[in-house]
């Protein structure tokens, strides 16, 4: 029997998710829940970029996410909606883009931090109510209010800084 | 010799073993699968093939004849499909109580394509029948959108494809007689003249659709019927099921697109999954074109057709549930002898998740758990029938190290959990337990919010409120929760 640590429901041995509340049942204790760290508020803000890239995003294009202090940029095709965050054992669902390998925990990235989604022929960025906020080109986003992404924009999730580039198919 | 399987693989032995080894291998498997010991219908099905393999290998003449052709059958230029089974644990602890283990079964082909021309040439030839509901409720935008979606499908057909079109209400009528897709303009004009009236009698439309599809049914083709409906059918459901079971045996698939809120999702889910097809929910009529287009495209992208899986757990192991994760998520009936899985596409694997229960108090050591067999016809190789088998064993240990389940199993299961929560809420409501249903819906909403599925979470919350006040779910909300939690699974398993 596995007792759910969240709702105390008695689950059959071997189940991985609680039959009652749907949360992940932890059987090995090497993956404890790690709450998002509060980062220093006075983290240096970045000056606005002088020029804007294009906002047009072709259907077949990919995005390149260049995370500062990491030497390998991530290239991916955006889904209709892509959740960015970090994997944590306490929530059953992994984000579509897991930033754990880039030091997400130390940099104050929430489990569900932000999302990038498609809208007409643009991409939008929205903060999902993260603990340390999402910044777009140095401006803090109001949670749950989407903003258009442009090629070359700087995104900050907590203390993690990344640049986003659009890569069209023809290029 | 035209065998679907390699008898050596079926018996799990090397090709150079002695007759004694063959007999011993056969005895081991027969002990696990024999109907006197193993009540699972899947075991009986698998034993038939094993008996055949055993008979063949014990006859020296047949065996040497097979051995001579064996190297020709294994041709790297014509890869077949593969089956990979991943358990949630490799070692399990001996426990005084039963325990659950999950198996992720993935079926895929490694055939890759190099050029676009090649891509086009290997496109499967279709024998497609569209069966369209033209009842009164379809009038206006619905009918217009469905017509233009059908037109687009017709534009994508080649003269190698066979196409037919049925419209039905209280009667059914052949709008386009089954034949090669040649005069596309005439076909389209016939469809454009259709008007809406009358009620919905699915059996009539389905019967005529099957009749038309059978006219040109060939093993080398993907034989498929797509039904579009927005209504509920009364009194003829059982007959529809019998018809679906019959066509499933003949290798014709049936899929359905349910438009709006009125159609009977449980009925169409069961009807289509019997044949390896799937039912999908078109909430917004403007998206019907995309649904239909995706569907036909996935049929044209067929590598192997008429995929059939059987699972034979060991006598003391129980299959508790089965769920198809991709290409289109769908619950499966796990207690059937065989499970129809439809087609296997080139670039998208077909994957399933099984939940098994192991008995209490097992002895330490290695033991077999279940044998999974998949058979299908590879279209590009002249509809060659092929079977592959995976026999899974686990270690039982008194001091098993806690082991993190494989990420793909965990991810798939996390998403499946949401679908299950929605199902349990409905079950609670069907039992009349309003309080329980409300609580489950609220739990589901919380999980959905955590995953960032806000719109769906809000809908779950709205339904929870509705249930607690009126003891019923709204039809729209129920369908949205069911099909959208299901489609969350689509984001997993894709690589």
A6 Cα to chain B: minimum distance (Å): 12
Q: Does B44 touch chain A (CB under 8 A)?
A: no
Predicted pLDDT at B317? 93
Q: Does A46 touch chain B (CB under 8 A)?
A: no
- Distance between CA atoms of B352 and B311, rounded to whole angstroms? 11
In this complex, how many residue pairs, one in chain A and one in chain B, have their CB atoms less than 8 Å apart? Answer: 77
Predicted pLDDT at B493? 39
Predicted pLDDT at B390? 92
Choose, out of B88, B417, B436, B442, the residue to mutate when testing the contact with A (most A CBs < 10 Å): B417
pLDDT of A144 higher than 60? yes
Within this chain, domains B7-112+302-397 and B125-300 share the same CATH topology: no
Q: Does A113 touch chain B (CB under 8 A)?
A: no
Percent of chain B topping pLDDT 90: 49
Predicted pLDDT at A49? 46
pLDDT of A32 higher than 50? no
Q: Which two tokens stand for residue B308?
A: 């059939």
Beta bridge partners of B353: B104, B323
Chain B residues within an 8 Å CB radius of A30: 402, 404
Predicted pLDDT at B117? 55
Fold that domain B125-300 belongs to in CATH = Rossmann fold (3.40.50)
Q: Which residue of A has its CA nearest to B400?
A: A28
Q: Residue range A148-171: average pLDDT?
A: 83
| Per-domain boundaries in chain B | 7-112+302-397, 125-300, 408-491
Helix (H, G, I), strand (E, B) or coil at B188: helix
Predicted pLDDT at B87? 92
Per-position b or e across B106-139, b if 16+ CB within 10 A of its CB: bbbbebeeeeeeeeeebbbbbbbbbbbbbbebbe
Identify the helix (H) or strand (E) that includes residue B178: strand B172-180
Q: Residues 144 to 163 of A: which have CB under 8 A from any B CB?
A: 144
* Average pLDDT for chain A: 79
**Mean pLDDT per 10-residue run, chain B (495 residues)?**
78 88 92 90 91 91 86 72 90 89 91 58 85 92 92 90 94 94 92 92 94 93 94 88 92 93 90 91 88 90 92 92 88 84 89 93 89 91 87 87 82 87 92 92 90 87 90 88 84 43
Q: Residue range A71-78: average pLDDT?
A: 81
Its pTM stands at 0.75
pLDDT of A30 higher than 50? no
Given B95, B101, B451, which is nearest A93 (Cβ)? Answer: B451
pLDDT of A158 higher than 80? yes
Residue pLDDT, tens place only, A47-65: 444 456 777 888 788 888 8
Q: Which two tokens stand for residue A126?
A: 């929205």
**Predicted ipTM?**
0.79
Taking an 8 Å cut-off on Cβ atoms, the answer to whether A31 and B404 are in contact is: yes
Alpha-carbon dihedral sign for residues A97, A100, A103, A105: positive
Dihedrals phi, psi of A78, to nearest 5 degrees: -70, 140
Domain boundaries B7-112+302-397, CATH class: mainly beta
Q: Which of B337, B300, B314 is nearest to B161 (CA)?
A: B300
Q: Does A13 touch chain B (CB under 8 A)?
A: yes
């Amino acid at each position: 029997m596995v007792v759910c640590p969240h709702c105390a429901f008695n689950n059959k041995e071997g189940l991985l998710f609680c039959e009652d509340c749907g949360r992940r049942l932890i059987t090995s204790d090497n993956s404890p829940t790690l709450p998002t760290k509060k980062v220093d508020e006075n983290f240096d803000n970045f000056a606005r970029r002088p020029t804007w890239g294009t906002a047009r995003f072709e259907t077949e294009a990919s995005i390149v996410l260049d995370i500062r202090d990491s030497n390998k940029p991530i290239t991916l095709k955006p889904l209709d909606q892509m959740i960015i965050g970090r994997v944590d054992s306490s929530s059953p669902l992994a984000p579509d883009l897991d930033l754990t390998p880039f030091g997400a925990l130390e940099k104050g990235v929430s489990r569900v931090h932000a999302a990038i989604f498609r809208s007409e022929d643009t991409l939008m960025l929205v903060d999902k109510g993260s603990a340390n906020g999402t910044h777009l080109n140095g401006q803090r986003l109001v949670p749950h209010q989407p903003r258009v992404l442009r090629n070359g924009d700087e995104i900050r999730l907590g203390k993690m800084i990344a640049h986003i580039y659009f890569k069209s198919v023809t290029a | 010799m035209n065998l679907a399987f390699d008898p050596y693989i079926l018996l799990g032995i090397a090709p150079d073993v002695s007759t004694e080894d063959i007999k011993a291998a056969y005895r081991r498997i027969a002990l696990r699968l024999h109907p006197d010991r193993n009540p699972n219908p899947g075991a009986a099905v698998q034993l038939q093939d094993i008996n055949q393999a055993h008979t063949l290998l014990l006859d020296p003449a047949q065996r040497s004849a097979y051995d001579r052709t064996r190297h020709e059958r294994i041709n790297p230029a014509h890869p077949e499909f593969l089956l990979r089974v991943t358990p949630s644990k490799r070692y399990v602890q001996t426990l005084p109580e039963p325990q659950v283990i999950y198996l992720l079964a993935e079926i895929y082909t490694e055939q890759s394509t190099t050029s676009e021309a090649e891509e086009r040439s290997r496109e499967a030839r279709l024998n497609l029948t569209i069966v369209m509901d033209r009842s009164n409720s379809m009038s206006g935008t619905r009918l217009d959108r469905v017509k233009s979606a059908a037109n687009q499908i017709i534009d994508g057909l080649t003269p190698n494809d066979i196409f037919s079109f049925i419209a039905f209400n209280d009667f059914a009528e052949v709008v386009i007689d089954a034949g090669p897709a040649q005069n596309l303009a005439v076909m389209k004009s016939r469809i454009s003249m259709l008007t809406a009236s009358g009620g919905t009698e699915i059996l009539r439309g389905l019967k005529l659709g099957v009749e038309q599809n059978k006219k040109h049914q060939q093993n080398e083709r993907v034989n498929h019927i797509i039904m579009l409906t927005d209504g509920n059918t009364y009194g003829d459901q059982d007959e529809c099921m019998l018809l679906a079971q019959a066509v499933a045996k003949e290798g014709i698939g049936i899929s359905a697109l349910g438009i709006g809120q009125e159609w009977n999702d449980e009925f169409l889910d069961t009807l289509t999954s019997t044949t390896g097809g799937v039912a999908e929910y078109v909430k917004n009529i403007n998206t019907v074109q995309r649904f239909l287009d995706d569907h036909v495209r996935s049929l044209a992208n067929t590598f192997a057709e008429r995929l059939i899986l059987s699972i034979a757990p060991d006598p003391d192991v129980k299959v508790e549930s089965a769920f198809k994760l991709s290409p289109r998520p769908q619950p499966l009936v796990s207690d059937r002898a065989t499970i129809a899985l439809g087609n296997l596409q080139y670039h998208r694997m077909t994957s399933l998740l099984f939940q098994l229960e192991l008995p209490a108090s097992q002895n330490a050591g290695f033991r077999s758990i279940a044998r999974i067999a998949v058979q299908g016809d590879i279209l590009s190789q002249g509809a060659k029938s092929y079977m592959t088998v995976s026999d899974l064993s686990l270690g039982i240990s008194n001091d098993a190290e806690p082991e993190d389940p494989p990420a793909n199993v965990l991810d798939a299961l996390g998403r499946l959990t949401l679908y299950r929560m929605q199902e349990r809420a409905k079950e609670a409501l069907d039992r009349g337990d309003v309080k329980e249903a409300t609580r489950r819906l609220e739990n589901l909403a919380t999980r959905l919010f955590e995953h960032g599925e806000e719109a769906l979470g809000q809908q779950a919350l709205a339904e929870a409120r509705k249930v607690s006040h009126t003891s019923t779910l709204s039809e729209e909300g129920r369908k949205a929760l069911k099909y959208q939690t299901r489609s969350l699974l689509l984001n997993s398993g894709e690589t």
